[in-house]
Structure formats: structure tokens, C-alpha cells
Amino acid sequence: MQNNLVHFFAVLMRIARVRNENLKIVVLDGETLNPGDLSWEGLEALGECVVYDRTPDDRILERAKDADILYTNKTPLGGDVIRQLPELRFIGVLATGYDVVDMDAAKTRGIPVSNIPTYGTNSVAQMVFAHILNLTQRVAHHSQTVGQGRWTACPDFCYWDYPLVELDGLTLGIVGYGRIGQATARLGRAFGMKILAFDVLPDSSKSGEELFLSLDDLFSLSDFVSHHCPLTADNYHLVGADRLAQMKPTACLINTSRGQLVDEKSLYRSLKEGEIAGAALDVLEKEPPDADCPLYHLDNCFITPHISWATRSARSRLMKTAVENLTAFLAGRPSNLINQ
């Protein structure tokens, strides 16, 4: 108890010193993290905090120009902007992916950049199986048809419009075997699935019941392929026509990672021609997508609006870590740095 009180008062003293520094903290796009069910009080305790729900590209510089501390989720911070922010001392990314920040420009200016690496692990893995279960049971479709009166008019006690698939014994291939990939594997095992994995940096300590394979073998052997890797120059359009052609005609593709991992034109052709059985996407190459996105018109492609990260529990952890990252930086012990 005494140790907890000592820690509590030490934190208060650090916050008091930070407030005296009169820091200006600017959040460029806070709406998705906190649409009203969380609080910004943690950042507000550390300095003058201005939160914008969203910031259009033509107002980024105007809103960020006097900031000591800058937070972004998806608002891009290019080199041309970073170079024009003389007061900027720290950039916090309110997400795991950090491709919205020009890392070279930040490094040149000596500005540390932190992200939030672990907040949504279980939420994203949960979404993978929400999609897998929808693909195998067509839950949404059958619920809608019941609401339309189909069951009432049915001559039998049940009906189904698509083959219903049991997961036990099927193979789940996971591309990117970090925290989220491993959490997804644990859920897969709970359903009795076999786990195949690919990672650019395979770690023998990760190896358990999963089997590490090449991408070629993973795609050809899996019944479901789920992506859990960051976007890099090397994996842009990792899934194109050739990769899709390796999959079983009964297999499904899942992407809750980054939309640019998948070539959507090739995916559309593959789904349209029955080369693979289905796809479930929580991310797209362009977000929000165009109104005429061709994937909308396929009955074997299911799209959700980038929400796998957005459970309240995950967003609460994200907010907490964002405050901790800034507190650590101000105390001279920066954490979760991307550009060390």
C-alpha cells in the first residue's frame, strides 16, 4: 500500500512539472479512438491538449504548427509537414501501424515516434473468427432471410442456402506470426484447426503446435489464410493473381491487417471466377473505399469498415498506452519507440 502511494505521488509530481512546462499537445484525429465513450483527461493532465475529431490534409500544418506533442491515427504526417514544425518534440501514433508518418523526416529532425503495439491483439483475433464463422455458417445471410419471412414460409423445420462448414480438422494459415497471429492461432486450436504459419523472422520460441512453412506451401495447403503483418515495401500486394492461384478452390482469404497487402483487382477476378471460395476483409486498399468498389457486388466477399481494433476494451488500452508513452518520454525514458 505504501509503495503504491509513493508511486502515485511521484506520478503527480511529474505531471505537475510537465504542466509547468506548458506543453501544447495536439491530437489531429481523435474521433475514431474516442467518439465520446472514453476520456482525454490523461493527456489533459500533461499539458494544454487540443483534440480535433478529424483533420483534412489542407489544415494539418495550420493545426500542428505550434505543437510540442503531436498525435495522429490516420492523418498523414509527411516530411514536408514535419520539416515545418519547429516546436515539435514527439510524435505519437494512436495505432500500431505507423506508415502515416515519414520516419526518415522524423529521424532527421531527431523527433522520436512511438506507437501502440499491443492494445488490440485479442480484439483483432476475435474479428478474424467473426469473419471465419460468417463464411462457414453464413450467419448474417440466414438471419436476414428469417427476418424476411423465409423460415415462417418454410415447409421444413430448417433450411440453409449455402453449404455449412465445420472448422474442426481444417487448416488455418497465418501470415505474420507476431502477437495477433499467435492469438489467432490459439482461437483456431480451440476450434480444432491445424495451424500453419509464415513469418519473415521465424522464432523457434514461437514454435508449438504450429508448423512454419514457406508462403507457397502455406497458401496451397490452407483452408483459410489470415494476414497479420505490417505493410512494408516488400509485401505490398503480397496477395496477387499468382498467390491466389495457389489457394484451394474451397479456401478463403481473411485480411484484418493492411488493405495494401492484397491486390483487390486480382482478388475480385479470383472470387468472381470461383478460383477461391470467399474472402473477408476488414481493411481495403483505399479507406473509405469508392462507392463503386467492385468487391461490394460479390456474394462471396464480406467487408467490414476497419473495426477489428475498435472494441471499447481495446480502445481503452490504446488511450492508456498513449498517455504512458508521453509520460515516459517526458521523464526521459521513452517507450514503444519506432525510430530508435
Query: What would the pLDDT profile of 249-287 be if each residue is shown by its tens digit?
Result: 999 999 999 999 999 999 999 999 999 999 999 999 999
pLDDT digits (tens, 9 = 90+) for 15-60: 544 454 589 999 999 999 999 999 999 999 999 999 999 999 999 9
CATH class of this structure's domain 121-303 = alpha beta
pLDDT in tens, 163-211: 999 999 999 999 999 999 999 999 999 999 999 999 988 765 555 678 9
Amino acid at 318: L
d(CA 179, CA 125): 10
Predicted confidence band at 158 (pLDDT cuts at 50, 70, 90)? very high
Q: Which of 41, 166, 287, 312 is catalytic?
A: 287
From the candidates 258, 264, 285, 317, give the one annotated as an active-site residue.
258
pLDDT at 11: 52
Instruction: Give residue 16's pLDDT.
Output: 45
Matching CATH topology for 2-119+312-330 and 121-303? yes
pLDDT value of residue 203: 63
pLDDT for res 99? 87
DSSP 176: S
Q: Is it the case that residue 10 has pLDDT exceeding 70?
A: no
Phi–psi pair at 293, nearest 5 degrees: -55, 120
Peptide bond into 288 cis (omega under 30): yes
Cell (9 digits) for 152: 415462417
131: annotated active-site residue = no
Q: So what's the pLDDT on residue 94?
A: 97
Q: Residue 245 corresponds to which cell in the numbers above?
A: 492461384
Gap between the Cα atoms of 332 and 293, Å rounded: 47
The predicted structure's pLDDT at residue 2: 45
Instruction: Supply the CATH classification number for the domain 2-119+312-330.
Output: 3.40.50.720
Mean pLDDT for 222-243 is: 95
**Is 63 assigned a catalytic role?**
no
Q: In what order do the strands lie in the sheet with 171-175?
A: 211-212, 194-198, 171-175, 224-227, 252-255, 278-281, 301-303
Position 210 scores a pLDDT of 87
How many residues does the structure list for the chain? 340
6, pLDDT greater than 50: no
The residue whose grid cell reads 433450411 is 159
Active site residue 19: no
The model's confidence at residue 3, banded by pLDDT at 50, 70 and 90, is low
DSSP 8-state symbol, 137? H
Whether 317 has a pLDDT exceeding 60, the answer reads: yes
Mean pLDDT of the chain: 93
User: Any residues with CB less than 8 A from the CB of 161 and at least 6 apart, and which?
Assistant: 138, 141, 142, 145
At residue 20, the pLDDT reads: 40
pLDDT digits (tens, 9 = 90+) for 72-104: 999 999 999 999 999 999 999 999 889 899 999
| Domain boundaries of the chain, sorted by first residue | 2-119+312-330, 121-303
The mean pLDDT of 294-310, rounded to a whole number, is 97
**pLDDT bucket at 239, cuts 50 / 70 / 90:** very high
SS3 for 312? helix
